[in-house]
Structure 1
Amino acid sequence: MRTADICTRQVISTEAAVSIRQAAEIMRKHHVGALVVTEPPNGERIPIGFVTDRDIVVAVVAVGIDTEALTVGDIMSQNLATCTESENIFDAIQTMRARSVRRLPVINQKGGLAGMLTADDIYSALGAHMRELNAALTREQVHEMKSRA
């Protein structure tokens, strides 16, 4: 199973120059807890960082900094972990585990933002496969009981 098959394609992003207050407003408007920070060379949204609602609370609000005084670029995570559309989900899980993250921006062949893969996406996809496997096992048991009756 490829990351492209299960990722969310509608990803909310922002640019590094946006103020922290504006970023919080974007998160609220779109009901998301994280934004991929991008720059737009060649018409692609190239991921360069990541900012979460927790980053805003811990790095800005909790220490009393004015939300207009800092930009997203000032607090974003810059060593961004990503995965590609063609990558299988087990490799993505390894990346999540190695980098201690639960969200991975998915990038296309041009390096542009193509989606977002979350731990919830993976749980959901694997859960669906486990339910299918369980149904197959149950059918096999029923078939065996009927054939022996």
Structure 2
Amino acid sequence: MNIGEICTRVTVFAYKDMSVSEAARLMLEQHSGSLVVVDETGNGRAIVGILTDRDIVVAVVARDFNAQNMRVAEVMSGTPITCRAEDSMADALGLMRRNGVRRIPVADAQGMLLGIVTMDDLLEIIAEEMQGFVQVIQNERKRETRVRG
């Protein structure tokens, strides 16, 4: 299974010139803990950063800055780690582990936004696979009980 099959294709995004307050409202409305920050280009939405709820708390709220006066570009993490749709789950997990992130935008070959994959997405798939192993063990026990009494 590759990241293109797992990632969320409808991605909540923001622009660098949005106020942090607008971005926070968007997160609230979309029930999202992060926004992929993009620039519109002729080829699509170019990924330029990522803004998390933690970025807002640490860089704005904890310092008593005015979120209406600050721009997303001032708070976002620039040049985010990205992965490709054809990458494996192991590739994405390795990127997350090495870079200390829980969300990775998925980009095409030109760096345009295709979606986002999160640690939660990967955990859900892994949990389903682990449940498959458990079912094999349970079925084997049932079969043995039936066959051997």
**TM-score above 0.5, yes or no:** yes
* RMSD (CA atoms): 1.3
For 1:73 and 1:108, the matched residues in 2 are separated by 23
Deviation at 1:111, TM superposition (A): 2.3
Q: Which residue in the other structure is 2:116 paired with?
A: 116
Task: Give the match's secondary structure for 1:121.
Answer: helix
Aligned residue identity for 2:67: T
Deviation at 1:41, TM superposition (A): 1.2
Deviation at 1:107, TM superposition (A): 1.3
1:91-110 mapped onto 2 (5 Å cutoff): 91-110=91-110
For 1:23 and 1:83, the matched residues in 2 are separated by 24
For 1:28 and 1:44, the matched residues in 2 are separated by 25
Q: Which residue in the other structure is 1:19 paired with?
A: 19
Q: Which runs of 4+ in 1 moved over 3 A?
A: none
Deviation at 1:68, TM superposition (A): 2.5
Deviation at 1:91, TM superposition (A): 0.8
Structure 1 unmatched ranges of 5 or more: none
Q: Deviations over 1:35-55 (max 9, x none)?
A: 100011124111110111111
Task: Give the match's secondary structure for 1:14.
Answer: strand
Q: Which residue in the other structure is 1:34 paired with?
A: 34
Deviation at 1:64, TM superposition (A): 1.7
Deviation at 1:106, TM superposition (A): 1.1
1:39-58 mapped onto 2 (5 Å cutoff): 39-58=39-58
For 1:81 and 1:95, the matched residues in 2 are separated by 8
Identical pairs, percent: 34
Q: Which residue in the other structure is 1:82 paired with?
A: 82
For 1:41 and 1:109, the matched residues in 2 are separated by 14
Count of aligned residue pairs for this structure pair: 149
Q: Which residue in the other structure is 2:73 paired with?
A: 73
For 2:110 and 2:79, the matched residues in 1 are separated by 19
